[in-house]
Structure 1
Amino acid sequence: MTSILITGGHSGIGLAAARVLAAQHTDLVLAGRSVERMRPVADELRARHDVSVTMLTLDTSSLTSVRTAATQMRTMVDSGEVTGLDALVCNAGGRFDGDVSYSPDGYETTFATNCLGHFLLVQLLFPMLTGKGRVVYTASGTHDPDTTDGRLVGRSVEPDAIALATAGKDGAKPLPAGKRYTTSKLCTVMYAYELNRRLRKANSPVSSIVFDPGAVPETGFLHGMPKPVQWASNTAAMKWVMRRIGATTSDAEFSGASLAALAADPDHANVSGTYFQAHDRTLSPVRSARLSYDERRAARLWDDSKRLVHLTDEEEAAQLR
């Protein structure tokens, strides 16, 4: 039996997805920064569903951590501890409010965590995917500046990997936190589409899917916001307001189940290159931002990201074998 790897599978939407998958007798690899936080979840899933749950230490803000995790994953596959991957779910991420900060590699933290870490992880783990495996990216409707979601958080800007990675350096004015977040999610959508184009060109059966879980206030997404904002966001009144103004709303249980379905359900076996959205307890394929379909920009984002993560030609070639 093969497994599904979920980054951030021990909390929020990732945890909700992990619980659904475990209940379906799917073995899991939980990837996250803290073994101490992952362990209770792994113990719970093993006890309730008699599945294999492996923990993988991974910090997507650190390229060294990503490479170490990929090496450890290869060792586990080679030894038979993990028998392969049916899906790689790139779900971890966050919004980093306050002053601009930088990753251990010197890249702006939001872009490093939400984009570059997963970009590199997909390249390195791709050879471990089964023949009809799936890569599922958790994005956000906030990436689209023409929607209520995008306007509420901060309109995304040009998906320029070099500029985003070095934002705020050399005296330049950094982007506000909201724009750093929404632009990172625009890049996530574009990575998914560009991967799909490359897979189709190589006649690969692997799928690349992108998912907007909607606004889910009961997750840890708002942990950096003031306490009154956190409290208000989870009230019935605020949820009503969000729906009235046209925001994309969901809850952790439904969005987690939707993420699990995109990773494993046979109904989603042939939807590569599609953007799905969870809204009002409905999962639907929808259009993403107009800019996300720009193939020239996506190719440049991909190539610049390759350079930023120091991806070798051999590592990228392994992706398309």
Structure 2
Amino acid sequence: MTSILITGGHSGIGLAAARALAAKGIDLILAGRSAARMRPVADELRAQHGTTANTLVLDTASLASVRAAATRFDMMLDSGAVSPLDAIICNAGGRFDGALSYSPDGYETTFATNCLGHFLLVELLFPNLTEKGRVVYTASGTHDPDSMDGRMVGTAVEPDAFALANGGKDGNKALSAGKRYSTSKLCTVMYAYELDRRLRGAGSSISSIAFDPGSVPDTGFLRDMPKPVRRVATSAAMKWASKLIGITTSEVGFSGGSLAALAADPDCAAASGKYFQANDGSLAAVRSARLSYDQPRAVKLWDDTKQLVGLTAEEEPPQLR
């Protein structure tokens, strides 16, 4: 039986992906901050598709929460409540507007939530992946400063883990919310590529894939925006205008189904090291930002992130060193 863990699988694109996976008879572990919000989704998936759906409380902004969730998963695995993972979908995340904030570990919230938590989660759960498992990262076209997506949100800056984690501290000027978001997604793509390189170097059959779901404003992405902004952003006129000027657009159902396909479909088994984009009803492998292919930068980002999350020698899988 196929088993997949997805972060943020109880809302938006993640929920659409979870429904698509459950419809295929795949067992799911929904990982997220709120047990109350995940529970009805798990109940729905079990009732409608007869699949097994477990929940796992996990806040990717908190390293302690990620470690506790990984320990809990190991206990569930030992008890037979779940099976080894065929895929880990790193989907949860967000853009955090308003006043600059920091995680429980003292790191800038956007980078902590979108990058550090998922990095640690993959390291800790990696030994539970099946021989031909997959890791799928939800990225964003905003990571590419040469694209309209990147120019509209805020041009990504240098993928420096220490600078991003400590943005706004010690008198340093904080990045805008848009730049914090787009840079976190640049890092996400680079994590996916660097993981692929390490897996290939270790002779592993596990895949690492990056995915851009496109601009889907009718999800929780704009939840921190004023209501008038949200109404305009989700209007048919704005969607038409966005497409006209070259923004990558999609719908919740299509993007969720595409994410599910990358995690489970046999046709995507050879997709490791690629960047896929959902755009106007089409899913295709495309080129990501030029900087995302910079291997020395990716190695530095990886190694610096290990230090930030406090990864120990015992926690780090040999294949990923």
Tell me which residue corresponds to 2:314.
Answer: 314
Secondary structure of the residue aligned to 1:311 is coil
Tell me which residue corresponds to 1:199.
Answer: 199
The AA in structure 1 aligned to 2:91 is N
Once the 2 structures are TM-superposed, how far is the Cα of residue 313 of structure 1 from its aligned partner?
2.0
Measure, in 2, the Cα distance between the counterparts of 1:248 and 1:316.
Answer: 36
Tell me which residue corresponds to 2:118.
Answer: 118
Measure, in 2, the Cα distance between the counterparts of 1:160 and 1:39.
Answer: 37
How many residue pairs match? The answer is: 321
Secondary structure of the residue aligned to 2:314 is helix
Measure, in 2, the Cα distance between the counterparts of 1:303 and 1:236.
Answer: 44
Tell me which residue corresponds to 1:94.
Answer: 94
Tell me which residue corresponds to 2:215.
Answer: 215
Tell me which residue corresponds to 1:44.
Answer: 44
For residues 3-42 of structure 1, the aligned pairs below 5 Å read 3-42=3-42
* TM-score, structure 2 normalization: 0.99
Tell me which residue corresponds to 2:172.
Answer: 172
Measure, in 2, the Cα distance between the counterparts of 1:76 and 1:128.
Answer: 12
Fraction of identical pairs, as percent: 72
Q: Deviations over 1:161-213 (max 9, x none)?
A: 00000000011110000000000000000000000000000000000000000
Q: Is the contact made by 2:4 and 2:27 (CA closer than 8 Å) also made in structure 1?
A: yes
Tell me if 1:135 matches 2:169.
no
Q: Is the contact made by 2:195 and 2:320 (CA closer than 8 Å) also made in structure 1?
A: no
RMSD: 0.9
Structure 2, unmatched stretches of 5+, are none
Once the 2 structures are TM-superposed, how far is the Cα of residue 314 of structure 1 from its aligned partner?
2.6
Structure 1, unmatched stretches of 5+, are none
Tell me which residue corresponds to 2:240.
Answer: 240
Tell me if 1:249 matches 2:249.
yes
Tell me which residue corresponds to 1:290.
Answer: 290
Secondary structure of the residue aligned to 1:69 is helix
The AA in structure 1 aligned to 2:120 is L
Tell me which residue corresponds to 1:305.
Answer: 305
Secondary structure of the residue aligned to 1:64 is helix
Measure, in 2, the Cα distance between the counterparts of 1:139 and 1:260.
Answer: 14
Tell me which residue corresponds to 1:64.
Answer: 64
Q: Deviations over 1:87-120 (max 9, x none)?
A: 0000000000011100000000000000000000
Q: Is the contact made by 1:278 and 1:284 (CA closer than 8 Å) also made in structure 2?
A: yes
Residue 111 to residue 320, structure 1, CA distance change in 2 (3 Å): closer
* TM-score, structure 1 normalization: 0.99
Measure, in 1, the Cα distance between the counterparts of 2:280 and 2:2.
Answer: 32
For residues 135-174 of structure 1, the aligned pairs below 5 Å read 135-174=135-174
The AA in structure 2 aligned to 1:246 is G
Deviates more, 1:230-239 or 1:133-142: 230-239
The AA in structure 2 aligned to 1:212 is D
The AA in structure 1 aligned to 2:139 is A
Once the 2 structures are TM-superposed, how far is the Cα of residue 315 of structure 1 from its aligned partner?
1.8
Q: Deviations over 1:106-138 (max 9, x none)?
A: 000000000000000000000000000000000
Secondary structure of the residue aligned to 1:314 is coil
Secondary structure of the residue aligned to 2:317 is helix
The AA in structure 2 aligned to 1:195 is L
Secondary structure of the residue aligned to 1:315 is coil
Once the 2 structures are TM-superposed, how far is the Cα of residue 2 of structure 1 from its aligned partner?
3.6
Q: Deviations over 1:57-79 (max 9, x none)?
A: 00000000000000000111111
Once the 2 structures are TM-superposed, how far is the Cα of residue 317 of structure 1 from its aligned partner?
2.8
Residue 278 to residue 214, structure 1, CA distance change in 2 (3 Å): same
Residue 123 to residue 185, structure 1, CA distance change in 2 (3 Å): same
Q: Is the contact made by 2:202 and 2:319 (CA closer than 8 Å) also made in structure 1?
A: no
The AA in structure 2 aligned to 1:247 is I
Q: Is the contact made by 2:61 and 2:113 (CA closer than 8 Å) also made in structure 1?
A: yes
Once the 2 structures are TM-superposed, how far is the Cα of residue 235 of structure 1 from its aligned partner?
1.1
Measure, in 2, the Cα distance between the counterparts of 1:232 and 1:152.
Answer: 16
Q: Is the contact made by 2:10 and 2:37 (CA closer than 8 Å) also made in structure 1?
A: yes
Q: Is the contact made by 2:198 and 2:319 (CA closer than 8 Å) also made in structure 1?
A: no
Measure, in 2, the Cα distance between the counterparts of 1:317 and 1:240.
Answer: 46
